[in-house]
Structure 1
Amino acid sequence: MAETKINKKSSTIVHPHYACAVGGAYTAVAIKNGVPIANCGPGCMYKQYFFMGFENGFQGSTSTGGGNVASVNVGENDIVFGGEKKLDDLIKSVLAIYNGELFVVAIGCTGELIGDDVGAIVKKYREAGYPIVHADTAGFKGSNLIGHEIVVEAIIDQFVGDYKGEKKKGLINLWFETPFFNTNWRGDYLEIVRILKNVGFEVNVLFGPQSGGTKEWKEIPKAQFNLVISPWVGVNIAKHLEKKYDQPYLHIPVIPIGEEATTAFIRQLIEYAGIDAKKSEAFIAEEAELYYYFLDSFSHFFAEYWYGLPSRFAVVGDSAYALAYTKFLSDQIGLIPVKQIITDNPPEQFREKISKEFRNLSEGVSVEVEYIEDGYLAERSLSEADFGSGVPLILGSTWESDVAREKNALLIEIDPPSSETVVLNRCHIGYRGALQLIERIYTSTVGGK
């Protein structure tokens, strides 16, 4: 397993591919009528939004995100004398202004370091009947992916609460892509929820445009099981729910893209849940017929232009996207992986399993993945990749644009920061998203971008 270490003389990371833990505030933004309150220094929330919401497909935010996130803006006086009153006043103002269903106080570095008892302040309002929680999301705890898990667990413990009732067969909690961080998360959620509902499941959609908001969060304990579709993000959440509600979970590490992967995903899910497969098999047959109808049309283009199309590719991105895209392009499209770099610093306990997936991409196809946080080092490693004599294909972020120009490569932005693509409800997963991904890649080959 190849791994690049940061220079021990410096902890600075150049060209980061993730935000810091306080970016978990955007987990609250992704919940319908969720309202984040930031207890951090000035500029922290702006940086989180700029990285995850703006320079990430220009996906924007809701009315409670972006420049509207209320922040304490901890200053020198607060560090010296304490900032509890300032936070208390801010919470009081936010509760008066916003008609939210859930308020999440995300605590940043300075908020945690000065030692204010944020929990006591928040508890006071919760006991008064307000739906409010706090989450210890100091940036020094890790990336926004860690912050996402911290916020979710805080909501579960402080808002959802205890439950001792029955479980509902066929109802699942969906833990999928990280809101605002994964560039296509909204469109990908639409596709995965469409698939799950059409094969016979009820779904607690906790984030995004289809979410019912806090009423679905309250239904979390009633689900038959938790479904985690990710190499590592969400697994700790599922384990927490298993302990809290005696609720099992199914962990599927590879996001399904294309007919073969999506069909296998559905059948694995149906078998695990123990529900009737008649409905799911009818859905599979219908989707497969449509998928191969369009793929057959694409084959005419491929047969005509194959000599000018890329045959080798690289992916630089978070573990979820890097693994899913590499698997699809290798196994279903027949491209050759030459450099796969994971940038989201997955915890050590998950790395060997992730690496094993890359070693088993398809029959006879494997690659050793590299784990590199530092964007400069990732760019340097990418520049050393041998793409042969053909046109290279790079799936990555804006950070990789210089290397792509040097190699005359096609660059498809799929990960933050993505400053040269606009994302509304774009989807690259499942049955329908795979076709959009193929369109996007091969349009760039004939269009020059």
Structure 2
Amino acid sequence: MPETDVLLASRPHKPAVPQRTNSIEQVRSVCSIGAMHTAAAIPRAIPITHCGPGCADKQFMNVAFYNGFQGGGYGGGAVAPSTNATEREVVFGGAERLEELIDASLEVLDADLFVVLTGCIPDLVGDDIGAVVGPFQKRGVPIVFAETGGFRGNNFLGHERVTRAIIDQYVASYDPARDGAREPRTVNVWSVLPYHNTFWRGDLSEIKRLLEGIGLKVNILFGPESAGVAEWKAIPKAGFNLVLSPWLGLETARHLEKVYNQPFLHRPVLPIGAAETASFLREVAAFAGLDPVVVDAFIAAEERIYYSYMEYFTDFYSEYWWGLPAKFAVIGDSTYALALSKFLVNQLGLIPALQVVTENPPEETRSGIEAQFATLADDVGAPVLFEEDSYTIHQHVRATSFGHKAPILFGTTWERDVAKDLKAALVEVGFPASYEVVLSRTYVGFRGALTLLEKIYTTTVSASA
């Protein structure tokens, strides 16, 4: 038996006290260059990767394929050009090779924006990417660059680097005399991480639909509902920015406030269900100065449909409540972990047993995330564990008391074995989700919550069969 197998086999199955390891098993994020998906999520934008052989392909297969089988789209997947840097570039530098690749890409690929991303090799050897990309920019080529070597952080931080690069290098400065007055009812949305969030396309589409429903014009920026680079060019004219996550996008909004004097609203909780969505829409409307009569009418129409479906659902719930899970665990990035916990506690009355945030958020953001989990409802709070290592996470899951009923786990493909051990139902809600095929599904808002209910209780009934 190989040494690694011996080490794995020797680990205790159910420790009394979970213990920390010095490594990460079954990763839940990828390295910074995974932000190539941030570029690919913009319609008609193409990432160009300057990295070692296989790096870009691994990002695609991990984040976009074995995660809902989302596909690469117009500029992602196998389309993205790469220098495939080798030992030669380590010794002599890869600037010349990158320049050749950009020239070739411009000749054969049709795009509105090219985004050059670097891997570990060029960042370590010190390739001057700005010196390579700069002459193309001076020629009017729509191209930007971001240094995204893996040692700089994960793809969440890489995402912030790419959005900052597009804003600073491509989006024009704002001059009211030249560009006209701001549009107070236009909003730029910064929310879930494209591709890494398995349901990002559907979620962003639903967010846009909701905001348009109360009277806003929405620059959603990513996905099929976006107008592509035209929306990015329009960022400075928007009346405000909306950050819809615990922390992702917040630095971008602060930067836009600095360079464009553009205010922003930070709403930490992604809205799932009637109560949270209505609260979200009213807060945005108040910030934007919208007509409350129009807003309330839209919410009332959505609630009427939502609660009509819920009335039908109660027949099932009242008959099977005795066999349904009472406690749950959520394992995922902070945006979905918090949103799901709020919905499950407030709308379904389930009891939070374990909450794990897995994307390694910056230290300065963690107290805010903890505060949100501490106030899931008026009289319900839950501590949150920040952990990336699946082995440690699964130790915590196995050591958690879920009572006499089998729990329901909201997690990833990595939780399938522990769910079987606990006879728990598992709903895959994040990276990697290798047993889900996802096109336009959303769990956000009024409509997404109904889809989530279907998924939860179809899974629960199937698990008990």
Q: TM-score, normalised by structure 1?
A: 0.97
Residues 308 and 391, structure 1, Cα contact 8 Å, conserved in 2: no
Structure 1 match to 2:10: none
Superposition pairs of residues 251-266 of structure 1, within 5 angstroms: 251-266=266-281
Structure 1 match to 2:458: 443
Structure 1 match to 2:362: 347
Of 118, 122, 135, which residue of structure 1 is paired with 2:133?
122
**What RMSD over aligned residues (CA atoms) do the two structures have, in Å?**
1.2
Letter in 2 for 1:42: P
Letter in 2 for 1:25: M
| Structure 1 position 380, deviation (Å) | 1.3
Matched, 1:286 2:301: yes
Letter in 2 for 1:76: E
Cα distance per residue 1:309-352 (max 9 Å; x no partner): 11110000000000000110011110001001000001111111
Structure 2 match to 1:36: 47
Structure 2 match to 1:48: 59
Structure 2 match to 1:107: 118
Counterpart Cα distance in 2 of 1:350 and 1:376: 24
Matched, 1:19 2:30: yes
Structure 2 match to 1:156: 167
| Structure 1 position 363, deviation (Å) | 2.3
Cα distance per residue 1:3-29 (max 9 Å; x no partner): x9965xx4x321110011001111110
Matched, 1:228 2:228: no
Counterpart Cα distance in 1 of 2:20 and 2:203: 33
Unaligned runs of 5+ in 2: 1-17
Secondary structure of 2:420 counterpart: helix
Counterpart Cα distance in 2 of 1:68 and 1:204: 26
| Structure 1 position 164, deviation (Å) | 2.3
Structure 2 match to 1:241: 256
Q: Say if 1:127 and 1:415 are closer, same or farther in 2 by CA, change over 3 A.
A: same
Counterpart Cα distance in 1 of 2:317 and 2:57: 44
Structure 2 match to 1:147: 158
Runs of 4+ in 1 over 3 A off after TM superposition: 4-7
Secondary structure of 1:251 counterpart: strand
| Structure 1 position 232, deviation (Å) | 0.5
Structure 2 match to 1:172: 187
Structure 2 match to 1:365: 380
Letter in 2 for 1:98: L
Matched, 1:409 2:450: no
Letter in 2 for 1:295: M
Structure 2 match to 1:199: 214
| Structure 1 position 117, deviation (Å) | 1.2
Residues 337 and 357, structure 2, Cα contact 8 Å, conserved in 1: yes
Residues 5 and 372, structure 1, Cα contact 8 Å, conserved in 2: no
Unaligned runs of 5+ in 1: none
Letter in 2 for 1:135: A
Structure 2 match to 1:377: 392
| Structure 1 position 137, deviation (Å) | 0.8
Residues 119 and 148, structure 2, Cα contact 8 Å, conserved in 1: yes
Counterpart Cα distance in 1 of 2:87 and 2:172: 37
Identical aligned pairs, as a percentage? Answer: 47
| Structure 1 position 448, deviation (Å) | 2.4
Of 68, 72, 83, which residue of structure 2 is paired with 1:61?
72
Residues 58 and 423, structure 1, Cα contact 8 Å, conserved in 2: yes
Q: TM-score, normalised by structure 2?
A: 0.94
Counterpart Cα distance in 2 of 1:41 and 1:5: 35
Counterpart Cα distance in 1 of 2:458 and 2:274: 21
